[in-house]
Amino acid sequence: MLKRLIDDHFKLSEHGTDVKTEVIAGITTFLTMAYIIFVNPSILSESGMDYGAVFVATCVAAAIGCLIMGLWANYPIAQAPGMGLNAFFTYGVVMGMGYSWETALGAVFLSGFTFFLLSIFRIREWIINSIPMSLRLGIAAGIGLFLAMIALQNAGIVVANEATYVALGDLSAPSALYALLGFFVITALAYLRVTGAVMIGILGVTLLAILLGHNEFGGVMSMPPSIAPTLMSLDIAGALDVAMFSVIFAFLFVDLFDTSGTLVGVAHRGGLLDENGKLPRIGRAMMADSTASMAGAVLGTSTTTSYIESTAGIASGGRTGLTAVVVAALFLISLFFSPLAGSIPAYATAGALLYVAVLMAGSLAHADWDDATEAAPVLIAALAMPLTFSIAEGIALGFISFVAIKALSGRFKDLNPAVVVLALIFAAKFLFLD
């Protein structure tokens, strides 16, 4: 009876799969993305948030997103707090712009709510089609470079310098050596297609540091920490400040394109697109993402988004939402491993950040470098993010440079109202609000 109910709800037979295959796919997907359990609390806690509460919020927000995606949208796509956006939350909004983490959570909620409205009224297609590919590539690469800068800084490989702004740190220091070792191991394992390469690298470096006396072991399992320090702590009123517009837009923009790109890419890999090459139930999938982001903000974590690591589950045979439900269950089980998460040092996650940066910076290869009007905005957006330590500023400068260069080159046909309006808004912000 239960098997029949599962088959009817997820349409397993229709998709040519079964419960065993979906469970294996769910476990595979979880192993490839479980590093977020360790990395997200490590990054967000630097903003002043309670580490244990963020750990719980990360697991629960991911479980909520996966459950909605699996039970309602019926896609084998997993969700969790997104890399890049969590770094922007801490280093850009809180530490860089001086806002409280409560206000930053308010901005995450508002961006999720806006995303939800765009999904309901089907405006998302117009927005996605309005943004030039060159800007999308530059922004994706910029986020990768931003993560790389954070990783190198956390490991002490790059340090501050009054004369040159940045300089090479002490590579003989344990933190630098462990970070580089983790990066080398993760990259090699990923090349060899080892499932869970990132998580293996993080745990391996942590274990080695403990054995050599450079890190303390806090245990493996316990009851979950309290989520009270972050639960319902978001400050929506504070996030409505005019100066926060670019922050909310950055959260929204990155989540929108990250989600849409991941959904289409994963669906294509799994043969889930219809005869017209479109993704059925994309509205439900988008609303699952936006709802998870709002729930995550209420719980106490940065933007929740769809994970490209879902392709690992697809490759293992996952074709329905049952895969995502299995991932959700594993995230909930992870709540009891908080001591292990607390034992992970920053340099152990630095290698993982650097590896993710490599993947995201790869979008530069797809830019049209023979057309200066396309290549220049890509480079401006990509470089601005790590150098200004802000995803929002990088997006803004990318839009402004794209419109200015195209207009001065007489390439008005490459411009559309949405891009021009956004560029003018960003320019006005720099001129009159900063």
Where along the chain do its domains lie? 2-365
Dihedrals phi, psi of 306, to nearest 5 degrees: -75, 140
Mean pLDDT of 31-49: 92
Is residue 184 over pLDDT 70? Answer: yes
Residue partners of 4: CB distance under 8 A and separation at least 6: none
Is residue 125 over pLDDT 70? Answer: no
Dihedrals phi, psi of 79, to nearest 5 degrees: -130, 155
Is residue 126 over pLDDT 70? Answer: yes
pLDDT at residue 396, rounded to an integer: 87
Q: Which is more confident, 95 or 430? A: 95
**Over the stretch 167-179, which tens digit does the pLDDT of each residue have?**
999 999 999 999 9
Task: Using pLDDT thresholds of 50, 70 and 90, give the confidence band for residue 37.
Answer: very high
pLDDT at residue 422, rounded to an integer: 85
Mean pLDDT of 162-166: 87
Dihedrals phi, psi of 160, to nearest 5 degrees: -70, 150
pLDDT at residue 68, rounded to an integer: 95
Full 3-state SS string of the chain: CHHHHHHHHHCCCCCCCCHHHHHHHHHHHHHHHCCHHHHHHHHHHHHCCCHHHHHHHHHHHHHHHHHHHHHHHCCCCCEEECCCHHHHHHHHHHCCCCCCHHHHHHHHHHHHHHHHHHHHCCCHHHHHHHCCHHHHHHHHHHHHHHHHHHHHHHCCCEEEECCCEEEECCCCCHHHHHHHHHHHHHHHHHHCCCCCHHHHHHHHHHHHHHHCCCCCCCCCCCCCCCCCCCCCCCCHHHHCCHHHHHHHHHHHHHHHHHHHHHHHHHHHHCCCCCCCCCCCCHHHHHHHHHHHHHHHHHHCCCCEEECCCHHHHHHCCCCCHHHHHHHHHHHHHHHHHHHHHHCCCHHHHHHHHHHHHHHHHHHHHHCCCCCHHHHHHHHHHHHHHHHHCCHHHHHHHHHHHHHHHHHHCCCHHHCCHHHHHHHHHHHHHHHHHC
pLDDT at residue 178, rounded to an integer: 95
Is residue 241 over pLDDT 80? Answer: yes
Q: Name the most confidently modeled range: 15-19, 66-70, 128-132.
A: 66-70
Is residue 17 over pLDDT 70? Answer: yes
Task: Using pLDDT thresholds of 50, 70 and 90, give the confidence band for residue 276.
Answer: low
**Average pLDDT of the chain to the nearest whole number:** 89
Residue 191 tokens read as 């090349």
The residue type found at 314 is I
pLDDT at residue 277, rounded to an integer: 62
Q: For 80-84, 300-304, 392-396, which range has the lowest pLDDT when averaged over its residues?
A: 392-396
User: How far is residue 78's CA from residue 322's CA, in Å, rounded to a whole number?
Assistant: 11
Task: Using pLDDT thresholds of 50, 70 and 90, give the confidence band for residue 84.
Answer: confident
Residue 226 tokens read as 């309290």
Task: Using pLDDT thresholds of 50, 70 and 90, give the confidence band for residue 89.
Answer: very high
Q: Cα 24–25–26 angle (5° rounding)?
A: 90
pLDDT at residue 7, rounded to an integer: 80
Is residue 289 over pLDDT 80? Answer: yes
Mean pLDDT of 282-287: 84
Is residue 2 over pLDDT 90? Answer: no
Mean pLDDT of 31-47: 92
Is residue 26 over pLDDT 70? Answer: yes
pLDDT at residue 81, rounded to an integer: 95
User: How far is residue 336's CA from residue 292's CA, in Å, rounded to a whole number?
Assistant: 21
Pick from 182, 186, 206: nearest CA to 194: 186
Residues of the chain above pLDDT 70, percent: 97
The residue type found at 154 is N
Task: Using pLDDT thresholds of 50, 70 and 90, give the confidence band for residue 286.
Answer: confident
Pick from 195, 192, 188, 230: nearest CA to 55: 230
Mean pLDDT of 245-268: 80
**Over the stretch 344-377, which tens digit does the pLDDT of each residue have?**
888 888 888 898 888 888 889 888 999 999 999 9
pLDDT at residue 128, rounded to an integer: 67
pLDDT at residue 140, rounded to an integer: 83
Is residue 64 over pLDDT 90? Answer: yes
pLDDT at residue 314, rounded to an integer: 86
Do 138 and 367 form a contact (C-beta atoms < 8 A)? yes
Is residue 238 over pLDDT 90? Answer: yes
